[in-house]
Amino acid sequence: MKQQLEVRLSQKMVMTPQLQQAIHLLMLNRLDLAQEMQEIVLENPVLEIEEESPEPEEWSSEGADGETLHSMGEDTRPDTHAPEDEDRVPDPMSNWEYSVDENLDEESFHREERTLRESDSGEFSFEKVLAAPTTLADHLEWQLSFTDLSPAERSLATYLIGNLDEDGYLHLDATEIPEGLLKGVSLPRVIETIQGFDPPGVGARSLQECLMIQVRHLGQDKELPGRILSDYFQEFLEMGTKAIARGLKVPVEEVSEAVAFIRSLEPKPGRPYYRESPSIVVPDLRFYEDDEGVLRVVMNEQGLPRLRIQPAYRAMLKAAPKKDELRDYLEEKMRAAQWFLKSVDQRRRTILRVGESILRHQEEFFRKGPTALRPLVLRTIAQELGLHESTISRVTNQKYAETPFGVVELKYFFSGGVPSSSGGDEHSAVSVREKIRQLVKAESPEDPLTDQEIVDKLSGSGIVIARRTVAKYRTELDIPSVSQRRKGPWDQRTQKI
């Protein structure tokens, strides 16, 4: 046992702070990037948002194919240093003239068109104001104010209304209600009052109760529809029309009419009042066809602030003494500003390069639509651009593109393949799902297509697919089974297909 010193030479990958910042910015969507740029301006005093500037332009990446995320630490701009004496400290501003919007190498960037940017006129538009919709709880509490319930009963009713789900159902056990709300009140009376509100069926504890409330509201609870729901509900769900007819000893035609009447009711009474929070999507890329019929892709710079280094701080740094705390502080902030601007610029280049690669592989999609989408994996784009698959994954995550067929996420262009019967190119899983959706949309409501019939029709188009795969894709498209689609206005066909 003895102690000794030895020197070893080894290589290892190190994530520099600059590279970590570049990866972080690459993962952000447009809204988060705009917020990040606003925050960095508040943190770094040498950066400012350029308020008055010439019309920005859309970005094209011609000539930038050699740039990658891993070469961001190198400054490839021409050297702007002037000849200096050895005793003289080099002017740091010679390396900090970089800005996203100025002094760019014309050989590395080609600008085609003007950028889509919002007007700076500052005019207020009422069209941009989103009105708050009336919720189900608001509608029910408004009706509650017209009842003759006691204050204690109204408190309990307000609590129950607040616990209704988005479909209008009350999935709450009596043991889950605070004891203080149950003192001196009748829980069944309060629930019955809520179930008498509009929309009919609200406050039900099950689908059967929901339909019974609506049937009672229409005066059919003692008639055939009410008898079917109370005594043959399971047979109704299984579409057992003949079994119901035998049990009730009525003609099958009358049972069919009663079943059709029940299916016309609303199984989710809260649906008209449920509104998902609107998600704001601003596309990063725009795919379009120019006047000459050539497909092109450009970056959309709308909504992103334009940053630059303040000229006042540049002059201040040049005038600062060689060894001074102010100079050290400004150098640190200038260096951070430079790296942030280069990271934002590199993010723009990388996304645009990926968009151009997608355009080359999915050109038929931009001309014919989703049915022409081809199989594509991240590895193909990564090998073509000389990037890692994880980088392509970050680029396509939460990034959107405006296409002639709508706004889609970049991940939409990547999917597995389904074999072709002719032995040629495979079909994209997305295009196969689109074909299934079109087949179901065009089917007859009286005689919907079974999964096997869909398989046969796809086979006629040269698509080799198993029945269980069709069932899987149909479920992903939220298309009900053949028995549920048959003669069913209840399944909201126009919403699901």
pLDDT value, residue 487: 56
Report d(CA 421, CA 423) in Å as an integer. 5
pLDDT value, residue 444: 82
pTM over 0.95: no
Per-residue model confidence as pLDDT tens for the chain (497 residues): 788 898 989 887 777 777 888 888 888 888 888 889 999 999 999 898 887 544 444 555 444 343 333 333 333 333 444 444 444 444 444 444 444 444 444 444 343 333 344 334 444 455 445 556 788 999 999 999 999 999 999 999 999 999 999 899 998 888 888 888 888 899 999 999 999 999 999 999 999 999 999 999 999 989 999 999 999 999 888 878 888 999 999 999 999 999 999 989 999 999 888 766 556 778 889 999 888 889 999 998 887 888 888 888 888 888 888 888 888 888 899 999 999 999 999 999 999 999 999 999 999 889 888 888 888 888 999 999 998 888 898 888 888 999 998 888 898 888 776 776 555 557 778 888 888 888 888 888 778 888 888 888 888 877 888 888 888 888 888 888 887 777 554 344 333 33
| Token pair 């008498």 in the structure block, residue | 196
Task: Take residue 451 and report the two structure tokens written for it.
Answer: 């999964």
pLDDT value, residue 464: 81
pLDDT value, residue 210: 94
Among residues 195, 203, 137, 139, which one has the least CA distance to residue 171? 203
119 burial (CB, 10 Å; 0-12 / 13-18 / 19+) is: exposed
CA angle 483, 263, 245 (to 5 degrees): 75
Report d(CA 494, CA 268) in Å as an integer. 16
Backbone angles phi, psi at 311, to 5 degrees: -60, -30
Task: Take residue 249 and report the two structure tokens written for it.
Answer: 């000893």
What percentage of the chain exceeds 70 in pLDDT? 78
How does pLDDT run across 373-420, given as a tens digit for each residue? 888 888 999 999 998 888 898 888 888 999 998 888 898 888 776 776
Ordered domains of the chain (ranges, CATH): 17-71+93-113+282-368 (no CATH), 136-273 (no CATH), 415-496 (1.10.10.60)
CA angle 224, 214, 491 (to 5 degrees): 90
Report d(CA 283, CA 281) in Å as an integer. 6
pLDDT value, residue 251: 92
Task: Take residue 40 and report the two structure tokens written for it.
Answer: 């960095």
CA angle 310, 311, 313 (to 5 degrees): 70
Q: Which distant-in-sequence residues (6+ apart) come within 8 Å of 239 by Cβ?
A: 259, 483, 486
Q: How many C-beta atoms lie closer than 10 Å to residue 107's C-beta?
A: 9
Task: Take residue 212 and report the two structure tokens written for it.
Answer: 């019974």
pLDDT value, residue 421: 58
Relative to beta strand 285-289, strand 400-403 is parallel
pLDDT value, residue 130: 52
Q: How many C-beta atoms lie closer than 10 Å to residue 394's C-beta?
A: 23
Asked if residue 36 lies in contact with residue 326, where contact means CB atoms within 8 angstroms, the answer is: no
Task: Take residue 260 and report the two structure tokens written for it.
Answer: 């059709």
* CA contacts within 13 A on the Cβ side of 202: 29
